[in-house]
C-alpha cells in the first residue's frame, strides 16, 4: 500500500494528474499498478486523508491539491488535533497520576497488555483510542473525558493512518507503557513528560509522512 500511495502521490505532485482531474477508475488503476482492490482502496483513502483528493459518490476520485499541507482526520486537521492534545492530554496525564484509583490502574494495565499482544490493526486502533479515554477518566474530571470523546473518531483515524504509513504501533505501545508506569508511581511530572513525549513522536511521524523524501515520492509499486 505504501508503494502504491507513493506512486500516486508522486504523479499528483509532478502534475500528471492536475487539480480538478479525475483519477482512473479503481479497476483501471488496479490493472495498471498490478495490485489488489483492497490495497488500492487503502492508498486512495490515504490520499484523501492527506488532502490531495476527494471522493465523490458515483463520480469517482478527483485531485484537489498538488501538495500535502495538513492531513485531515474526520472533522479535524492534524495540526488542530496536536494543538488540542498538547493543551489537554498532557495536563490530564498529570491529574491522572495524582487522582487515579486502583480500578483505573487495573483497567489501563489490562488494556495495555491486550494492545501489546494484538496483531490486528483495526482492533489495536480501537484499543488505542480507548486507552486515551481511560487516562482521561483517571483524571476524575468528566469534562476531560467529554473532550477526548469529542475527538475520539479523529484520534482513531489518525492512529490508523500512522500505523499504515509510519509503522507506529510498537513504538506507541512502549510510549503507553511508560505513561502507565508513571501513573502507577503516582508521578505527576513523569506522567506529563511521558504524554508529551508520546505526542511529540506522533507529530514527528506525521511530519515524516507529509514531508516524504524524494525517493519515497518517486518509488513505484514493487509488490503485488
Residue 136: C-alpha distances to residues 10, 49, 150 (Å)? 40, 27, 12
Residue 182 lies in a domain: yes
Give the whole-angstrom CA distance, residue 111 versus residue 104.
Answer: 11
Q: pLDDT over 90 for what percent of the chain? A: 58
185 plus 200 within the same structural domain: yes
Residue corresponding to grid cell 483510542: 129
Number of domains in the chain: 2
- Residue 139 phi, psi (nearest 5): -75, -10
Domain boundary among 46, 69, 92: 69
43 plus 139 within the same structural domain: no
Q: Give residue 212's pLDDT.
A: 64
Q: Give residue 220's pLDDT.
A: 47
133-188 tens-digit pLDDT: 999 999 999 999 999 999 999 999 999 888 877 788 999 999 999 999 999 999 99
Q: Give residue 191's pLDDT.
A: 98
pLDDT: which is higher, 8 or 193: 193
What range does the domain containing 138 cover? 72-210
Mean per-residue pLDDT of the chain: 90
215: pLDDT confidence band, cut at 50, 70 and 90? very low
Residue 220 lies in a domain: no
Q: Give residue 216's pLDDT.
A: 47
Q: Give residue 5's pLDDT.
A: 85
pLDDT: which is higher, 223 or 67: 67
89 plus 64 within the same structural domain: no
> How many CB atoms are located within 10 Å of the residue 21 CB?
15
76-91 tens-digit pLDDT: 999 999 999 999 999 9
58 plus 127 within the same structural domain: no
DSSP 180-210: HHHHHHT-HHHHHHHHHHHHHHHHHHHHHHH
Domain boundary among 22, 46, 69: 69
- Residue 21 is given by DSSP the state P
- Please report, for the domain that includes residue 41, its CATH number: 1.10.10.10
108-134 tens-digit pLDDT: 999 999 999 998 888 999 999 999 999
90 plus 193 within the same structural domain: yes
217: pLDDT confidence band, cut at 50, 70 and 90? very low
Contact assessment for residue 167 and residue 4, using Cβ atoms and an 8 Å cutoff: no
Residue 214 reports pLDDT greater than 60: no
Domain boundary among 69, 88, 110: 69
Amino acid at each position: 500500500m505504501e508503494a502504491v500511495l507513493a506512486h500516486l502521490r508522486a504523479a499528483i505532485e509532478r502534475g500528471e494528474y492536475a487539480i480538478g482531474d479525475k483519477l482512473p477508475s479503481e479497476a483501471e488503476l488496479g490493472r495498471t499498478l498490478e495490485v489488489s482492490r483492497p490495497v488500492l482502496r487503502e492508498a486512495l483513502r490515504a490520499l484523501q486523508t492527506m488532502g490531495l483528493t476527494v471522493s465523490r459518490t458515483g463520480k469517482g476520485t478527483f485531485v484537489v491539491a498538488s501538495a500535502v499541507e495538513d492531513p485531515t482526520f474526520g472533522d479535524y486537521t492534524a495540526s488542530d488535533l496536536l494543538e488540542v492534545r498538547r493543551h489537554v492530554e498532557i495536563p490530564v496525564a498529570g491529574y491522572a497520576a495524582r487522582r487515579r484509583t486502583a480500578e483505573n490502574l487495573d483497567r489501563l494495565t489490562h488494556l495495555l497488555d491486550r494492545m501489546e499482544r494484538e496483531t490486528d490493526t483495526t482492533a489495536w486502533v480501537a484499543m488505542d483510542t480507548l486507552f486515551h479515554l481511560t487516562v482521561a477518566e483517571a483524571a476524575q474530571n468528566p469534562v476531560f473525558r467529554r473532550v477526548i470523546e469529542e475527538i475520539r473518531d479523529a484520534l482513531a483515524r489518525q492512529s490508523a493512518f500512522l500505523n499504515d504509513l509510519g509503522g507506529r504501533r510498537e513504538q506507541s505501545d512502549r510510549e503507553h507503557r511508560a505513561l502507565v508506569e508513571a501513573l502507577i508511581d503516582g508521578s505527576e511530572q513523569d506522567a506529563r513528560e511521558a504524554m508529551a513525549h508520546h505526542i511529540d513522536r506522533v507529530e514527528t511521524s506525521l511530519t515524516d509522512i507529509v514531508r516524504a523524501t524524494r525517493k519515497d515520492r518517486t518509488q513505484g509499486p514493487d509488490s503485488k
